[in-house]
Amino acid sequence: MTSLHIAILSPFALAFLIPLLAKNVRKIHTGWFVLFLPVLLFIYFFRMIKMTADGGTLKAVLEWIPSFGINFTAYVDGLGLLFALLITGIGSLVVLYSIYYLSKEREQLGPFYVYLLMFMGAMLGVVLVDNVIVLYLFWELTSISSFLLIGYWYKREKSRYGATKSMLITIFGGLSMLGGFILLYTITGSFSIREMINQVDLISGHGFFIPALVLVLIGAFTKSAQFPFYIWLPDAMEAPTPVSAYLHSATMVKAGIYIVARFTPVFAFSGEWFWIVSLTGIVTLFWGSFNAVKQTDLKSILAFSTVSQLGMIMSMLGVGAAALHYQNFEYYMVAVIAAVFHLINHATFKGSLFMAVGIIDHETGTRDIRKLGGLMTIMPITFTITLIGAFSMAGLPPFNGFLSKEMFFTSMLRITNFNLYNVDTWGFLFPVLAWIGSVFTFIYCMVLLFKTFGGKYQPEKLEKQAHEAPLGMLISPIVLVSLVVIFFFFPNILSYSIIEPAASSIMPTLLDGDEKFKVHIYMWHGFSPELYMTIGVVALGVLAYLTLSKWRKVYGLFPEKLTLNKLYDSSLSGLEKGSNKITRTYMTGFLRDYLVYVFVFFIVIIGGSLAVTGGFSYDVKGNASIGIYELVLSAVMIAATFTTVFARSRLTAIIGLGVIGYTLALFFVIFRAPDLALTQLIIETISVALFLLCFYHLPKLRFKPKSAKFRVTNALVSVGVGTVVTLLALSANSQRSLESIASYFIENSYKLAGGHNIVNVILVDFRGFDTLFEITVLVIAALGIYGMIRLRLGKGGEEH
C-alpha cells in the first residue's frame, strides 16, 4: 500500500467517518470536515506535475486477486494526473460551494457528503488505475454514487425518474464496456492497459478487434452523454446544483472522454475508430447546441451545452487519430492538444456557470428564463461570473474558450486534407457541422446571459426577493472564472506542465525516447481562416439571437413523438408490457398447463436425444421366457388401467387403482419378492382407504360425477410420454454394459451381516443409511398431516 493507493482510497475512508460527524457535530456544517481532503489531495497531485512533465510515470501495485491477474495497479501519467487534478481541484471548490448552498438545518448532509466522497474516490480510481477490471469496478461505483446523488431529493418524482434513467443508461454502457475489456483480455491475456498498448499489433489483427472497439466505445459514449445516449444528462439536472457542477459538467461525464483518450493507442489506428469517435462527437456537438437553444430552464441549457461541448472534445480526439498515419504528425496532433486544452477550459467555465446558475436559483427561487430578467444590477458579481463563463463558452476573447475554439476550428479544417478512410470526400462535413454548432453555441450562451440578467426585473414572478449571494458561495465560481481569464492570457503555463504530458500519454507511440510534442498555444495567429470563422460565428450568432423569437418555431416542427426521450420512455414501458404479456401467455396459473410443459420437455429432450444419438436398440436375447401367470396378470393390470382412465365415477377409478396395486403385489409374488409383496399389499390397502376418505369429503354442491374430459393435447402428451419411457426401458434393458453387483450381496449377506433375508440385510445393514432417511421422510409426512389438520388457522387468523 503506497501513498498513491492511500490517496485513491482516502475518500472512501472519510466517507465512513462522515455520518458520525454529521450526527454528533451539529453546530458545524459537515462540509467543513470534508473540505480538507480534496484540498490535500490536490496538493498531493499538484506536486507530481514536475514528474510527469519530465516524462516520468508512477506505478504502484497492490495485489488484490493475483491468481486472476487482477491487481490494484495505480498508475500516474500525464493524462491520469490531469484528470486527478480536475477531480480534486473542482472537488474542493464544489465542496466549498456546497457548504453555503445546502442548508445545515433543512438538508440531510451526512448522506450527501458520503455519496460525494464515494464519487470522488471512485473517479480518482477510474483515472489512476491501470487494471481494466479495477477500472470497471470504480467505473460502476461512479454510476452508483451518481445515481444516489441525482436522487438526493428522493421525495421528488422527477429526481427519481432522472436517477433511474441515468442509472439504466450508464450501467448499460458500463456492462458493455466490461464485455469489451474481457474481449481485450482474451486477445492479450492481460488486464493491464500498458500491456494492451504493447500488444497493439496483436489486437488490431484479431477477429475480436471490432467487437471490443464498439463495446468499449458504447461504455464511453453512455457515460459522456454522446448521441444518442445523451438523454440522461438533462434529466440528471434534478440533482442539487453542486452535484451538477461537479459530476455532470466537470468530472463524471468526462470519464468517457478519459476512456477514449486512454484507449486511443490501442484502437486509434483503425478507420472504424476514426469515423465512430469523430462523427459521434461532431453530431453530438451539433445536436446538443441546437437543442440547448430551445430550453427555458437554465440548468437544462447547461446540460445540453455540456453534451455539446463533450461532443466537441470527443470529435477532436477522434480526428486526432489521423496523426498516427503520418510522419509529420504535428499537423494533426493539434486536435489532441486542443481536446486536452478544451477539457480543462470546459471544466473551468462550465463549473463556474453551474455555480452561478445555482446562485440564481438559490436567491430567486426559480431557474426559468421566462421568469428571470434584469438581475444585472441586483446581482452584479454573479452577472460578471456568468458573463465570463458564457463568453468563454461561446468562444470569445479574452477568455480561454476562444483559444480552444480556434484550435478546434484548426483541427477541423486540417482534417479535410486527410486522405484515408474516405475523409477526402466527406471530410468537409466536419468544419461545416463544427461551424453551425458553434453558431448555436453562441446563441444559447447569449440566451443564458441576457435572458437572465438583461431585460426587465419582474419581482412579481419570483418566489424570493432577489439579492446578491453570500461571499462564501461566490468564492468557488470566482476562482474558476479567474482561471478562465488567466488561461487566456497565459495559456502556456499549462502547455508544458499539463497538456504536453497528457497528449503524450494519449499518443505514446508517436514519440521516440525523450522527444516531446511541441505544444505552444498562441493567443494570436494572424488572419487565418479560423479567425474568419469565429467572426462569422459572432456575426450570424448576434443576428440569430436578435431574431430568435421569429425562428423559434423551428423547434415546434420536430414532432414530440420522435424524440429520443419518447423512444426511451416507450421502449421501457413497452419492455415492461411485453415481458408481462409474454409471462402471462405461459404462466397461466393452471397446474395442468405446467404439467404439459414438463412432459413435453421430457418427450422432446429424452425422445429427441434417443432419436438424435441413435440410442434406441432392441435386444431380447438375455430375456426370460414369458409364462402364463405374467400374461394373465398383465391383462388384468391393463384392464384395470383402462377402467381407471375411462371410469365414469371417481369411485370406479379408486377401485381400479386398488386393483392395479394388488395386481402389482401379485407380480411381486411371482417375481419372488415376498417382502415387497407384503409391503405393497398393506400400503395399497391404506392408500385406497385414504382415497376413499378424500372421495367421501368432496364438496357436495359442485360435485357432479362425470367422466374425465377428453383433450387431444393431453392424449398426445400422455401417449408420447408412455412411448418414450417404454423405448427408454427397452433400450436400457438391451444395453447392459456391466455385471450386476447383486452377487456380492448374495455371497456376503450371511457372512458379513448374519442374516439370510438379503432384502432386509440390505435395508438395515448394507444400505441402512437410505432407510434412516426414508423413516425420517415418514415422520415428516406424519408431522405434516398432523400439522395441517390440527394446527389450521381459521379465517380470522386464529388457531382452530
Partner 1 sequence: MKKVQTNDVILQTVTKIASFIILLFSFHLFFAGHNNPGGGFIGGLMTASSLVLLLLAYDLKTVQNILPVNFIYVAAIGLFISVSTGIGSFLFGAQFLSHAFDYFNLPLLGKTELATAVLFDIGVYLVVVGVTMTIIQTIGERE
Q: Which stretch binds partner 1 (CB under 8 A): 251-259, 341-349, 652-660, 775-783?
A: 775-783
Q: Which three cell numbers stand for residue 737?
A: 454394459
C-beta closer to partner 1: residue 155 or 751: 751
Give yes or no for residue 757 binding partner 1 (CB under 8 A): yes
Binding residue for partner 1 (CB under 8 A) from 706, 790, 797, 798?
A: 790
| Burial class, 121, CB count within 10 angstroms (exposed 0-12 / middle 13-18 / buried 19+) | buried
Give yes or no for residue 782 binding partner 1 (CB under 8 A): yes
Q: Confirm if 282 and 431 have CB atoms less than 8 A apart.
A: no
Give yes or no for residue 768 binding partner 1 (CB under 8 A): yes
C-beta closer to partner 1: residue 649 or 679: 679
Give yes or no for residue 43 binding partner 1 (CB under 8 A): no
Q: Confirm if 386 and 394 have CB atoms less than 8 A apart.
A: no
Give yes or no for residue 682 binding partner 1 (CB under 8 A): yes
Give yes or no for residue 763 binding partner 1 (CB under 8 A): yes
The CA distance from 119 to 145, in Å, is 5
Q: How far is the CB of 702 from partner 1 (least distance, A)?
A: 20
Q: Which stretch binds partner 1 (CB under 8 A): 3-11, 214-222, 307-315, 757-765?
A: 757-765
Largest CA distance in the chain: 115
C-beta closer to partner 1: residue 53 or 677: 677
C-beta closer to partner 1: residue 36 or 750: 750
Q: How far is the CB of 782 from partner 1 (least distance, A)?
A: 4
Cβ neighbours for 265, distance < 8 A, ≥ 6 positions apart = 197, 200, 506, 507, 508, 509
The CA distance from 617 to 599, in Å, is 23
Q: How far is the CB of 663 from partner 1 (least distance, A)?
A: 19
Q: Which three cell numbers stand for residue 122?
A: 471512485
C-beta closer to partner 1: residue 103 or 771: 771
Q: How far is the CB of 658 from partner 1 (least distance, A)?
A: 16
* DSSP character string of 528-566: -HHHHHHHHHHHHHHHHHHTHHHHTTHHHHS-GGGSHHH
Neighbours of 525 (CB within 10 A): 12
C-beta closer to partner 1: residue 271 or 787: 787
Give yes or no for residue 675 binding partner 1 (CB under 8 A): yes
Give yes or no for residue 791 binding partner 1 (CB under 8 A): no
Query: Residue-wise over 754-772: b if at least 16 C-beta within 10 A, else e?
Result: eeeebeebbeeebeeeeee
DSSP summary character for residue 252 = G
User: Of 484, 510, 407, 516, whose CA–CA distance to 52 is shortest?
Assistant: 516
The CA distance from 413 to 338, in Å, is 13
C-beta closer to partner 1: residue 456 or 790: 790
Binding residue for partner 1 (CB under 8 A) from 693, 712, 738, 741?
A: 693
Binding residue for partner 1 (CB under 8 A) from 554, 638, 686, 719?
A: 686
Q: How far is the CB of 705 from partner 1 (least distance, A)?
A: 21
C-beta closer to partner 1: residue 133 or 762: 762
**Which residue type occupies 132?**
V
The binding track of 463-502 with respect to partner 1, each residue x by CB under 8 A or -, is: ----------------------------------------
* DSSP character string of 302-345: HHHHHHHHHHHHHHHHHHHGGGGG-SSTHHHHHHHHHHHHHHHH
Q: Confirm if 177 and 135 have CB atoms less than 8 A apart.
A: no
Binding residue for partner 1 (CB under 8 A) from 557, 746, 779, 793?
A: 779
Neighbours of 315 (CB within 10 A): 31
Q: Which stretch binds partner 1 (CB under 8 A): 466-474, 545-553, 577-585, 672-680?
A: 672-680
- H/E element, 58: strand 58-65
Helix (H, G, I), strand (E, B) or coil at 62: strand
Site for partner 1 in 555-614 (CB under 8 A): none
The CA distance from 537 to 478, in Å, is 28
Q: How many residues bind partner 1 (CB under 8 A)?
A: 35
The binding track of 496-525 with respect to partner 1, each residue x by CB under 8 A or -, is: ------------------------------
C-beta closer to partner 1: residue 632 or 698: 698
The binding track of 627-666 with respect to partner 1, each residue x by CB under 8 A or -, is: ----------------------------------------
Q: Where are the alpha helices (DSSP H) in 671-739?
A: 674-696, 712-733
Pairing of β 70-76 and β 58-65: antiparallel
Q: Which stretch binds partner 1 (CB under 8 A): 468-476, 581-589, 602-610, 747-755?
A: 747-755
- H/E element, 63: strand 58-65
**Which residue type occupies 563?**
T
DSSP summary character for residue 756 = S
Give yes or no for residue 785 binding partner 1 (CB under 8 A): yes
Binding residue for partner 1 (CB under 8 A) from 460, 789, 797, 799?
A: 789
Binding residue for partner 1 (CB under 8 A) from 66, 754, 794, 796?
A: 754
- H/E element, 59: strand 58-65
Binding residues for partner 1, rule: CB under 8 A, are 674-675, 678-679, 682-683, 686, 690, 693, 753-757, 759-761, 763-765, 768-769, 771-772, 775-776, 778-779, 781-783, 785-786, 789-790
